Structure 1
Amino acid sequence: MRTFIKNIIGNEPYGYQLRVAELLLGGKNVILSVPTGAGKTWASIAPFLFAKVNPQLYFPSKMIYSSPLRTLTNSIYEDVAKVFKDAKIQTGEFNEDIYFESDVIFSTIDQTLSNFLCFPLPLSQAQANINAGALIGTYLIFDEFHLLDPKRSMATTIGMLKMLGNLTRCCIMTATLEGKFMDKLKDTLENNYEIITLDDSCSDKEIIGSLFPKKNKKSIYYKDSVLNAHQIAENHQRKTIVICNRVETAQKIYREVIALKEKAHILTAVDKNNIICLHSRFFNEDRKKTEVRLKELFGKESDANEQAILIATQIIEAGMDLSCDIMHTEISPINSFLQRAGRCARFANQTGTIFIYDVLDSMDRVSLNIAIEEEDKKEINKINNKFLPYEESECSQALLEIKNHDTLDGDIPKTMIENISKTSSNDLIRQMSLNSSGGFNQGKIKESWESCNKNFYRDTIRDIQSVDVILINNEMIREINRFPFRYQSLSIYKWSLVGWLTKILKGEGPMELEDGDWLSMELKEPNNIFLENDEDQKFELKRIQPENIKHLSNQVFLNVKYFGYDRDFGLNWQYEESFENPSPRNEKVEKEDTFKPLTKDTFYEHNMGLIGAFEKEFLPKLDFTFKALSDYLQLSDFSKKKFIEIIKLMIILHDYGKLNGSWQKPIQKYQFLKDGASKEILAHTDFDKNSRRDVELGKEAGLTKRPSHAGVGAYVSQEIIEDIYDNDFLKSSISMAIARHHSALSVSYPDFKINPDNYTEMQRLLTEFNCEIELEKENFRGNLEGFETDWYGERIAYLFFVRILRLCDQKATSNLRNYIN
């Protein structure tokens, strides 16, 4: 292991890194707390990579690395992708793996949790149950855990891990969580967690000495004013980093600093190109170029005498190895402040100065005091909103504590955290445990599973909901209907965008909205979709009406006539000179054949294709999952062979409803009208929705009048699974997986009658797989039995099975010949 890690990171591993590997590969989970820059990323990833080349080890074959920040996710992905070439990234701006199929995935916490909650952000509600199963049997890494929202994403993550239990291996990483909190977190999670810190290794502490401040390494000063360009200019020395809480503030200060240089002839020693703005509202290509330039100016190998100024938001708090002589920062919660401070005098033998600013000026303070006296809640909220994206109380607590210190030497950061934790987070675990049924948002998780609605985002992941925006013109609309992820997106706080839209509608923008023109659009699922092809993504752009702008979806398309983008300061609505700049294309776009016509296949071929997809794509990677799931469901006698058997039975039964006469007759009629084909028992036709002739033939044959088919297979599976396996959890999870293999909310089955000729095809499959069973052939419509209990484990088993079924169905439908001999 030592040699393996050394070969990856290029130097001798620290003792704590070896200990992390020992614990994880030995069946334990880890809570890892080491300072920023001490190598915790590779400490968490190396055990997985080691297990990959040593398959005899009992360890998951899939890894999902989750971070609260897109920039951190992007940065770590780029580093690891150099070692593991097949790694994928899935964030709001990069949609490389919307179904979480790769062995190594780097994701934002929003994407990961939305998957488990059954409202995956890039997918429709019909597909909402596909991705949750990706977390089952997977190695989960949660980076910068202390940056999660305690009431939402942190509580939900803990609740998820408690519900998953032994079905995952996990590493939780943090730089600043207080010791008592980690102890309580360990006790809460229960499932073999161990805490690792540098306090466990004196030798590591000495080696990483440059990370521990020596006397006067970082001096801190509170400035009784708001952050402004003149303060930045007056205190500038060689390298200056400015960190703002909001993008609008960063953009404003950037433009003011540029104006000071160009018009007031201040900062003459700083090249204009070395004054840089960075925040979340830049396109990928521009952001990457900026990050490369920042490493050249502020990185460990940079020229110490080349002067530069960076004006950024909190996106540089983590994951960027930068350092400065002077830092200016708006006040933020203590964990955030200490993360920011880690970008000042970061490297060995450096010293630096940090200036901290309030977000309220003197007039704001007077107004706030008056509003409090008059109990004017509206005015109080208006003023306190200036603290966004943080809570006013957390910022005020941090500021009071910071004022007690003039350096960040020695154990002062730890003292700050402990002092504040006594008043704000000492009882945090207990509060999270009481927040809903089962604690840790477990009640909300179950509700979200039942509704598959993105409205749960705000309660379970992030209160400050972000929206991904794409800048387009009229010429791009038709292409986006076909390829919705083709163009790059930017992230913006939802209510900021609502404010922009409202102001433009009121005529406050630089450009007046023309009569009949559109301002914003969103993707909607059209109504005229044939049932047999509902696994494909099909969307249409629809205008967002003024009365609906407060109810934006997570993806919004903006008209470039009224919104701007500038490579120097990003997305905006105020600066007309930056308008008419649409989103660039993604580096990796959808395959051109995403919307190709269907391929005709028989009922038998389709099912054999699913079996082939399961054996090729899933089965080689499920050893860990099968063992863990048998323990989880307390199926002591349930071997790998039995799991394979029940999954294949699920596949064989999943389209039983397509043998229903009222489903099979229209599909056979259509194919006969089109090419005179004999009446084969079909699973799919070669219908092309872009062909006028095919659409007309479809209407004549009655394709749109076919009943749903998934519920029929679910209905007959209930009795069959119970008879064979005598287990209620398996019965419910398999039957509901079949019922919901086209729609995440199905609960019923239609009238069905399967004639002897059609049943012959099912008998052929059953015989081939040695299933000596007889299926019911006729019944009236009704509701399925559904889940047997309220235990979350029953749903988790269902989510495991339905993922396999749906993805195999997709693969066999789109590329049958790849999976059938």
Structure 2
Amino acid sequence: MGLTPYPFQRRVATWLISGRNVILQAPTGAGKTLAAMLPFLDALEHDRDFPHKCLYAVPLRVLANQFGEEYTARVRRAGRDERIRVAIQTGERREDRDLTATLTFATIDQVLSSFLHMPYSQPKRQWNLNAAAVVSSYLVFDEFHLFDPDSTLPTTLEMLRMLKGVAPMLLMTATFSPEMLGELARLLDAVVVPEDDAAGEEMLQIPVQRDKRRFYHWRPEPLSADAVLREHGTRSIVVCNTVDRARALFEGLQRHPARGDTQLLLLHSHFLKADRQRIEAELLCRFGKDADPSGRWIIVATQAIEVGLDLSATHLHTELAPANAVLQRAGRCARYGGEGHVFVYDIESELPYTGMTDEFERTRSAFQERDGTQLTFADEQVVVAAVHGPRDRAVVEGLKASRSRHRAEMNVVLRGEADRAGGSRLIRDIVARDVIVHPNPDELLTNPWQVEAFSLYPGSLYGAAKVWVEREVELDLEWGVMWLREAATDESEGGRHVERWWERAWSSEDLRGAPLVVVNPALAGYDPQRGFLLHEPTGFVSPPVLRQKTEQYTRFYRLESYERHISLVWQALVQDTWPELAAAAARLEQRAGWQPGVLVRAAHLVALLHDVGKLNKALQRWYHNWQRAIGAPAPDAEAIAHTDYDELNPLHIEKERAMSSRRPPHAVEGAVAVAPLLVQALDPTHLPIIKAAFSAIARHHGPFSREFRAFELIPGATAEIARTLQLAPHLAVDVRGLRSRDTPDLTQIDRFWVDESNDNELLAYMLLARALRRADQLGTEWGAQAADG
């Protein structure tokens, strides 16, 4: 794709393709992203034994957006866009909710939540769909130093430890202390690049590093418009620690009499997508590598710019922050070579970096001592070690001491015993809340996320809500702030409808844990230049989200026989869903010491046996009653897998509500019925795989289903199953072992549930669950499309 790699980039690729995990520490602007992409693109081009799917995880969505757009353009220019699908998966841009793209740039929360069976991109009934996409991918973790040491970092490291030998992994950073690098390398059995001093010196001789001269200046006063304009030439970048500070400084610069003809841009996290993209495009045009040099420009931004856009300025002004953050920001100064000056200003508040007073003191001292000094990358690493070494040593010791406790907390989430907030604490301690502005929120209840939301950290939201509630009373509004509630549904079958309503917020405390908050337009507003205005009404209403093409879901079903459905699911598994998982399955078999090919055998079994529970007499009776109720009866002798159903058809909605009995569940019942067949076909010596297969069948409509009801299969069930098993005669299953009836006794199936504390067993379950659920979805979609036309 027109890429010319440096030696260190080639070495990263060589290590990864040889089977080693890698930690890359390189200066900002040195080309870490290209180093990460080389082995992956090479494997795709030459069909090498290396994952043909990459999950590239970043801590900030601006990075995911930038990389996604950059590599989409690269792939298109190279004429590979038919073979390589590039997607962005963040809370804002959900282009790859099922993680099926070839190359997905995602925020770290999307990756970790997917692995933990609570993906932020999916409804609860789909929570076990995405985990195996992580297991089967080449995993890249960029800007690793920004991961929260109490939540994101230990969860990521435990996940990577579980995946050693199955998923190749690359961790990248510019600012990690030697203590942290050493512990990560030991934990992940990884090679650190540069491997030695000579390799490190070689890295510093690449042109963009060799020609760079960056000077640091300490300023004991707070950052101000006066200070920025005093040093301003033609291009300046200003970085503040909070959105409020950035907006205040931007407004101060707007009003300043010495501003002259200098143009201003503000960038933070509280802009609508279209405005943020417009601003980012302008920034790249004025500050990018091939920027238009005319005019005089100043960017005012928050830390979102630290590791985001590929920008450069001769002057960079930053509020004091922990050293690694300051140095990341400094990476936007003289990024492409030449001379640059970084000005570091003292602060009055440490927000949002709570609990880091010692790091602030050490950073302050470090830059006071180096005032006016040119620092190389090696010099910057000395600062990082001095400032962050003590905490990193404590973090390393904490990781060692708390690994078993942290894994136990992960297991609670994997079992489905934690709520969303509990799981989120393993991903990031501070979970942003979505806020929208709308006058008639009841209009949105069918899909509340159909309008664009702003993400606010809890502290900011609660502070704003306190004022909103007070203003609601002052203005005598019918309502001021509400939050979304959802009724619990029967997850065993997924449920066709979710009941939602808005709950009035009487205080900021009411919003704790709220998934979505709506504010009356009389209380808040928006400006395209300044962003979301918490207490400045402008008549703004949150606009609709432009739905991505990849977010289409089957909303209708067509009458389909059991045999037809199973044949389509089998076809989908063999042609589509298992091939993406096969290489990871083979690596897992090798790591676990299992017989080669046993996992594909298990995948074939779960595809062919997953819906045996639908042959329950009570469920078949319900299906036939439904068809009669909508005026489209099916032949009495036909075993049905799907009925006609359209969620937008008023008749279907009316009849569903009028049905005298609920549709009986089938997933766990089916797993119980076929358990003897799984034991027979997989051999009792492969108990972990039997448990994984049983759990995949039992949970193919709900990730944590455990209970089952009494069932009795129809008289022709054995014949139906035997016919579908003819699709895979190599399985040689004797269907006479089928359990054709049972009554609930949960103790008898306890030994069949997957044990989430057993790494190999858990990964096998993840692979089988994804293979089955995606095949089931595809087969169902194909069946509905064929019936329609």
Q: Tell me the distance in 1 between the aligned counterparts of 2:195 and 2:253.
A: 41
Contact 2:215 2:340 in 1 (8 A): yes
Q: Does 1:570 align with 2:531?
A: yes
User: 2:482 is matched with which residue?
Assistant: 520
1:69 aligned to 2:60? yes
* TM-superposition CA deviations, 1:623-676 (whole Å, max 9, x none): 4212112123320x222xx43332121122222111111111011112133223
Q: Distance in 2 between matches of 1:561 and 1:717?
A: 59
Classify 1:182/1:71 alpha carbon distance in 2 versus 1 (closer, same or farther; 3 Å).
same
Q: Could you tell me how far apart the structure 2 residues matched to 1:815 and 1:555 are?
A: 34
- Contact 2:330-2:342 at 8 Å conserved across structures: no
Q: Give the distance between the partners of 1:249 and 1:90, measured in 2 at CA.
A: 29
The alpha-carbon deviation at position 575 of structure 1 amounts to 1.9
Is 1:647 the equivalent of 2:587? Answer: no
Distance 1:213 1:413 in 2: 16
Cα distance change of structure 1 residues 537 and 16 upon mapping to structure 2, 3 Å threshold: farther
Counterpart position of 1:745: 704
- Residue of structure 1 equivalent to 2:772: 805
Match of 1:467 in 2: 433
Do the aligned partners of residues 358 and 699 (structure 1) sit closer, same or farther apart at CA in structure 2, a change above 3 Å counting?
closer
CA distance in 2 between counterparts of 1:203 and 1:189 reads: 25
Question: 2:9 pairs with 10, 17, 30, which one?
Answer: 17
Cα pair distance change 1:73/1:689, threshold 3 Å: closer
Deviation at 1:51, TM superposition (A): 0.6
Shift of 1:416: 0.6
Give the counterpart of 2:413 among 437, 448, 470: 448
Give the distance between the partners of 2:549 and 2:465, measured in 1 at CA.
29
1:782 aligns with 2:745: yes
The CA deviation string for residues 48-71 of structure 1, in whole angstroms up to 9 with x for no partner, is: 11111222x211121100000111
Residue 819 of structure 1, CA deviation: 9.0
SS in 2 for 1:31: strand
| One-letter identity of the residue aligned with 2:765 | Y
Q: 1:554/1:700 Cα in 2 relative to 1: closer, same or farther (>3 Å)? A: closer
TM-score by length of 2: 0.90
Work out which of the residue numbers 363, 368, 379 in structure 2 matches 1:403. Answer: 368
- Contact 2:179–2:392, Cα closer than 8 Å, also in 1: no
What is the aligned counterpart of 2:222 among 222, 226, 242?
A: 226
Per-residue deviation, residues 445-484 of structure 1 (Å, max 9, x unmatched): 112101253223443121222123344442x754x44555
Q: Indicate yes or no: 2:339 matched with 1:350.
A: yes
Q: 1:181: which partner in 2? A: 180
SS in 1 for 2:404: coil
Closer, same or farther: CA 357–182 of 1 in aligned 2, 3 Å = same
1:144-163, aligned counterparts within 5 Å? Answer: 144-163=143-162
Shift of 1:599: 1.5
Q: Mark the CA change 1:588 to 1:767 in structure 2 (over 3 Å): closer, same or farther.
A: closer
1:423 aligns to what? 390
* Unaligned ranges ≥5, structure 1: 1-6, 361-383
Counting only pairs closer than 5 Å after superposition, residues 188-199 of structure 1 correspond to structure 2 as 188-190=187-189, 193-196=191-194, 199=197
Q: Which amino acid aligns with 1:118?
A: H
Deviation at 1:255, TM superposition (A): 1.5
Q: 1:684 aligns with which of 619, 642, 654?
A: 642
Deviation at 1:522, TM superposition (A): 2.6
- The residue that corresponds to 1:602 in the other structure is 561
Seen in structure 2, the aligned counterparts of structure 1 residues 681 and 545 have a Cα distance that, compared at 3 Å, is farther
Contact 2:315-2:340 at 8 Å conserved across structures: no
Q: Is the 8 A contact 1:532 1:684 kept in 2?
A: no
Taking a change above 3 Å as real, the CA distance of residues 470 and 95 of structure 1, as seen in their structure-2 partners, is farther
Pair 1:819–1:199, CA change in 2 (3 A): farther
Amino acid at match of 1:660: N
Equivalent in the alignment of 2:244: 248
Over 3 Å counting, the alpha-carbon distance change for 1:819 and 1:608 in structure 2 is farther
Q: Distance in 2 between matches of 1:458 and 1:677?
A: 46
**Secondary structure of the structure 1 residue equivalent to 2:74:** coil
- The match for 1:315 among 304, 307, 330 is 304
Partners of 1:521 and 1:542 within 8 A in 2 = yes
How do residues 542-621 of structure 1 correspond to structure 2 at under 5 angstroms? 542-543=502-503, 545-546=505-506, 549-576=510-537, 578-586=538-546, 588=548, 594=553, 596-621=555-580
1:119, 1:125 within 8 Å by CA — same for their partners in 2? yes
Letter in 1 for 2:758: W
Partner-residue secondary structure (3-state), 1:351: strand
| Contact 2:212/2:337 (<8 A) preserved | no
Secondary structure, counterpart of 1:167 in structure 2? coil
Find the counterpart in structure 2 of residue 491 from structure 1.
Answer: 455
Report the equivalent of 2:78: none
Report the Cα offset of residue 162 of structure 1: 0.3
1:121 aligned counterpart, secondary structure: coil
Contact (CA 8 Å) 1:330, 1:359: kept in 2 or not? Answer: no
Matches within 5 A, 1:49-64: 49-55=41-47, 57-64=48-55
Alpha-carbon contact 2:320-2:344 (below 8 Å) kept: no
User: TM-score, with normalisation over the residues of structure 1?
Assistant: 0.87
CA distance 1:757–1:698, shift in 2 (3 Å): farther
Note closer, same or farther for the CA distance 1:541–1:65 as it changes in structure 2 (3 Å cut).
farther
In the alignment, which residue of structure 2 is the partner of 1:638?
596
2:651 is the alignment partner of 1:693: yes
- Select the residue among 328, 334, 351 that pairs with 2:323: 334
SS at match of 1:683: strand
Q: Secondary structure at the match of 1:797?
A: helix
1:814 Cα deviation from its structure 2 partner = 2.9
**RMSD after superposition:** 2.8
Pairing of 1:345-384 with structure 2 (within 5 A): 345-360=334-349
Report the CA distance between 1:609 and its aligned residue.
Answer: 1.7
Q: Quick one: which amino acid aligns to residue 666 of structure 2?
A: H
Partner of 1:368: none
Shift of 1:161: 0.4
Higher mean alpha-carbon deviation, 416-425 vs 658-667, is at 416-425
Matched position secondary structure for 1:748: coil
Distance change >3 Å, CA 458–CA 659, structure 1 → 2: closer
State the distance in 1 between where 2:246 and 2:195 align. 35
**2:206 maps to what in 1?**
208
Deviations 1:95-135 (A, max 9, x none): 11111122211100111111111211132333222211111
Q: How many residues align?
A: 764
Deviations 1:699-735 (A, max 9, x none): 5654x42332111122133332223322210111111
Q: Which residue of 1 aligns with 2:98?
A: 99
1:246 and 1:389 in contact (8 A); partners too: no
Aligned to 2:236, what secondary structure does the other structure show?
strand
Q: Percent identity?
A: 27
* Conserved? CA contact 1:518–1:559, under 8 Å: yes
